[in-house]
A and B are shown apart, each in its own frame.
Chain A
């Protein structure tokens, strides 16, 4: 894949920018990446993006890092991976290095506290917005299988506090079983 430095700069600056604003844990970067790479740049399709998130989520390591490795690899192979990893890791590296010097006064500052308190409401709204959109798309597939997986896994994690690893494992296996079933029933027909 032969891509100019402009492309790599765009890739680096967008992952850097996204990572610098991922407050509140790994899942937040997912909607932001979706907005940037799917809606704005149209580099990746939404369905593929969800696949990448599923892989990022079910492999070891931070979701944000895994997702950016996948996006870099998808868009520009190994050089792309290197660029996106750098873009994702640098903001926390820089910010935490600075904070480790000023930790005590940072923690005591009411300005910081109030800004972060307001921002958490904004973060919640961003996640809500993307969840509504993604959920709608799942229902639009009109598949009882995917819709019920979504509903049951939501209830499992929110109400019954089921371990996330277990949910991922079970959903993956259910998907496998469903795929096998379709493959076998197709063979019988032909």
Chain B
């Protein structure tokens, strides 16, 4: 039963990817490429590339892509439900306790430690996206970045977008789409 297999496979992917994003990659590879041979390694790398270029979490993107190829739209839906199900169960259980016992020192204490670390994690993810944007994906770290590969257009776009967001409280999605449009014009015609 291919639907059941898809569901179970992506249920495990959803269950074991803690920390989101790239943490899911090795688990998807193990299930989809090594265990079930639903995809070749090359196709798997393609999925990661698509995931970086399109909206949505890598795990959801790959469940759609694999599900589609194995069993059409129904397969995509089944795989996606499988991928989301563990989160649903676990997150809802925790949410229930969080709202019931919010004032409990255990939850309050743990969250007091987690809150500042979340800010740091967002900052570090932001730094790696910035690195990718400024050097067009050619630098693997800030220290090894080659200045001759610096993308001036991206640098100006970043600074301009940052100022617009800080000073004028602009809508972030407008800013993102605007930088996409300006980026296209600059790269195409300059």
Residues of A within 8 A of B (CB): 17, 19-28, 30-32, 35, 47, 50-51, 53-66, 69-70, 73-74, 78, 81, 85, 89, 91-93, 95-97, 99-100, 103, 106-107, 110-112, 114-132, 134-135, 138, 145-147, 149-151, 153-154, 157-158, 164-165, 167-168, 171-180, 182-183
Contacts and interface: CB of A to CB of B under 8 A. Distances in A.
B30 interface: no
Interface string B48-69: 0110111111111100110011
Contact of B108 (A81, A129, A179): A179
A59 B97 CA distance: 14
Given A69-B87, A122-B161, A183 B105 contact: yes
Chief secondary structure at chain B's binding surface: helix
Interface string B88-119: 10111011001100000110111111111111
Contact of A179 (B49, B106, B155, B166): B106
A103 B52 CA distance: 14
> Could you say which interface size class chain B belongs to?
35 or more
B20 A23 contact: no
Nearest to A139: B116
Contact of B95 (A65, A69, A151): A69
A174 B109 CA distance: 8
B140 interface: no
A158 B77 CA distance: 37
A103 B114 CA distance: 40
A128 B55 contact: no
A66 B84 CA distance: 9
Contact of B184 (A118, A125, A165): A118
